[in-house]
């Protein structure tokens, strides 16, 4: 039987939050730094990212209190107040994300949503198996080869323009994710130092000790 919980042993992040957090991080870094756009691996990871986002969205409604969206609503004024207090050396604990962290989370989700949506536009919603069947895409990473009309020909000029726009937004959103990730890491390090405890451990182990 598990030992009773005490005030020194506090569960903070549940397994679903941790899995989606590190899963998204892994997909973003792998697709940004390793895979080639349009490849089967890139598209497969994109579909995995979509699944992780859907899971986290459902968990944000049905999960435990600290994982729900209602626990960390976006509040720019509160975020600025938190940053001001942090600079002044006045820090406090929050049962979920602090206000600045909450804004970062929502910014991440918007950028992730754009990456997924534009990826689907560029691939015409094709699954990784369908992409694998298209040798031209696998060999060259050419997005235009992914979308075919009903007669097997490439889409018309209007669709081509839409794909080009989607690709531009996709690239911008992907770069924004890397920028936000750098800010997130810096914020975690600063907050950890201010609070004098490791904020990474709860996301790895799911618990913190006071």
The two three-digit tokens of residue 62, written as one number: 């049905």
Q: Measured in Å, how far apart are the chain's first and last C-alpha atoms?
A: 23
Full pLDDT tens readout for the chain, 210 residues: 334 444 444 457 899 999 999 999 999 999 999 999 888 899 999 999 999 999 999 999 999 998 999 999 999 999 999 999 888 888 888 888 999 999 999 999 999 999 999 999 998 888 888 877 775 544 555 555 555 444 445 455 667 788 889 999 999 999 999 999 999 999 999 888 888 888 888 888 876 544
14-204 folds as Fumarate Reductase Cytochrome B subunit (1.20.950)
CA distance 20 to 11: 17
CA distance 96 to 32: 29
* pLDDT at residue number 94: 84
Instruction: Find the Cα–Cα–Cα–Cα dihedral 109, 17, 128, 45, rounded to 10°.
Output: 70
What secondary structure letter does DSSP report for 209?
-
| Helices and strands per DSSP (H, E), number in the chain | 8, 2
- Give the rounded distance of the alpha carbon of 146 from its chain centre: 25
Could you give the 3-state DSSP secondary structure of residue 97? coil
Please, which residues have CB within 8 angstroms of residue 60's CB and are 6 or more apart in sequence? 67, 68, 69
Nearest Cα residue to 29 out of 198, 203, 156, 182: 182
Q: Tell me the pTM.
A: 0.80
Instruction: Find the Cα–Cα–Cα–Cα dihedral 63, 66, 70, 73, rounded to 10°.
Output: -130
Nearest Cα residue to 129 out of 26, 34, 41: 41
């Amino acid at each position: 039987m598990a030992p009773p919980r005490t005030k020194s042993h506090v569960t903070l992040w549940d397994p679903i939050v941790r899995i989606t957090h590190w899963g998204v991080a892994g997909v973003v870094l792998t697709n940004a730094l390793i895979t080639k756009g349009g490849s089967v691996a890139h598209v497969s990871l994109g579909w995995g990212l979509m699944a992780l986002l859907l899971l986290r969205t459902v968990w944000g409604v049905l999960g435990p209190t600290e994982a729900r969206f209602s626990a960390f609503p976006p509040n720019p004024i509160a975020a600025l107040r938190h940053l001001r207090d942090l600079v002044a050396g006045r820090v406090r604990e929050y049962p979920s994300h602090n206000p600045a962290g909450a804004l970062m989370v929502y910014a991440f989700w918007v950028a992730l949503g754009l990456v997924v949506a534009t990826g689907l536009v560029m691939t015409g919603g094709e699954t990784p198996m369908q992409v694998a069947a298209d040798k031209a895409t696998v060999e060259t990473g050419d997005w235009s080869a992914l979308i075919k009309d009903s007669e097997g020909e490439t889409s018309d000029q209007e669709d081509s323009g839409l794909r080009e726009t989607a690709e531009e937004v996709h690239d911008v959103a992907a770069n924004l994710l890397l920028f936000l990730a750098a800010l997130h890491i810096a914020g975690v390090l600063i907050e950890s130092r201010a609070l004098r405890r490791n904020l990474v451990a709860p996301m790895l182990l799911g618990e913190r000790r006071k």
